């Protein structure tokens, strides 16, 4: 069984900077999105593609869970050239598609994947792709009012789609609104994205970039944004500087108190089930099936994040349903 996809932090690295590309291989991060789009000027696109093809032919870096490339948008006319350069790289795990405004953008990518790497991307359900080289995953950037209106069809557009990302700055440009520290102006769009991704059972909902990253106050702002996004249903955040990664990955992992509560619920529920009790209490609060389901999800995510769950289970092995 394939390991669950965890993208607590998705860090962008410019494809045109060999220095930054080399440095990135020493990071510990869930997903790196090597960028061919916004951070690369038009006269550097060809060089950046070649840089990424060389980079993704190297042995995998130990600390990076997923290596992705953010290509240029389909509407830019540059996407096909990007794909032709990077798709044959053996260590490419995912593609980030910017300005995904409709299902047709993902249809284009899906067709190119199937034509270029047919054994890795079967066109019929009965075809089996190699377990050594699973299909390249797609992550769509939602950046416009049109994209928000098309979320249901976007989420259903490709079997390879595994996540949505909210691009706040481009969305603000499209709607002629100004970003404020409260982020209230993005409430509808962010809620729509988180809800649509969950309804489609996508692995990732990745929240907006925090533009503050320098100093103590910058990291505090980042943490506040992460907690806000987590509370809305996002399970990861975009990062534009390596200093942001630790905060993102810590906040979007189950916290110590959260995990202890979840383990207590799971352990006590196992005993309640043996006694034929469908509902019981813990710390004076009723525990029923939805609460147990949430607790099990927290425990599962903690395990996927590499947290030592067994030690916590051992600590609370005596927990009884009240």
* Binding site residue list: 70, 143, 170
Please report, in range form, the residues annotated as the binding site for substrate. 70, 143
* Burial (0-12, 13-18, 19+ Cβ within 10 Å), 49: buried
Q: Is 269 a catalytic residue?
A: no
- How far is residue 239's CA from residue 262's CA, in Å, rounded to a whole number? 29
**Over 9-70, what HEC string results?**
EEEEEECCCHHHHHHHCCCCEEEEEEECCCCCCHHHHHHHHHHHHHHCCCCCCCCEEEEEEE
Measured CA to CA in angstroms, residue 242 lies from 135, 239, 288 at distances of 28, 7, 41
Catalytic residue among 30, 174, 207, 288: 288
Please report, in range form, the residues annotated as the binding site for Mg(2+). 143, 170
* Burial (0-12, 13-18, 19+ Cβ within 10 Å), 243: middle
- How far is residue 159's CA from residue 103's CA, in Å, rounded to a whole number? 12
Which residues are known catalytic residues?
Answer: 288
């Amino acid at each position: 069984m394939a390991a669950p996809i965890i993208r607590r932090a998705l860090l962008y690295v410019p494809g045109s900077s060999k220095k930054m590309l080399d440095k990135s291989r020493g990071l510990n991060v869930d997903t790196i999105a090597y960028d061919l789009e916004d951070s690369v000027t038009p006269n550097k696109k060809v060089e950046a593609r070649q840089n990424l093809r060389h980079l993704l032919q190297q042995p995998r870096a130990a600390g990076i869970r997923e290596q992705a490339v953010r290509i240029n948008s389909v509407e830019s006319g540059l996407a096909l050239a990007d794909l032709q350069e990077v798709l044959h790289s053996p260590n490419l795990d995912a593609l980030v598609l910017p300005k995904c405004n409709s299902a047709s953008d993902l249809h284009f990518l899906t067709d190119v994947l199937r034509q270029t790497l047919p054994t890795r991307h079967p066109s019929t359900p009965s075809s089996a792709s190699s377990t050594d080289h699973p299909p390249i995953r797609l992550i769509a950037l939602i950046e416009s009012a049109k994209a928000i209106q098309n979320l249901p069809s976007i989420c259903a557009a490709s079997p390879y789609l595994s996540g949505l990302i909210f691009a706040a700055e481009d969305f603000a440009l499209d709607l002629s609104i100004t970003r404020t520290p409260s982020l209230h102006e993005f409430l509808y769009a962010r809620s729509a994205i988180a809800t649509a991704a969950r309804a489609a059972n996508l692995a990732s909902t990745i929240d907006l970039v925090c533009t503050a990253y320098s100093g103590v106050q910058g990291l505090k702002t980042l943490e506040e944004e992460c907690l806000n996004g987590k509370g809305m249903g996002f399970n990861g955040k975009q990062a534009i500087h390596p200093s942001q990664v630790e905060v993102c990955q810590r906040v979007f992992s189950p916290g110590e108190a959260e995990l202890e509560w979840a383990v207590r619920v799971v352990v006590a529920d196992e005993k309640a089930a043996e006694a034929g009790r469908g509902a019981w209490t813990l710390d004076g609060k009723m525990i029923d099936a939805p609460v147990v389901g949430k607790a099990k999800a927290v425990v599962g995510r903690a395990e996927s994040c590499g947290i030592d769950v067994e030690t916590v289970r051992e600590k609370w092995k005596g927990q009884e349903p009240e």
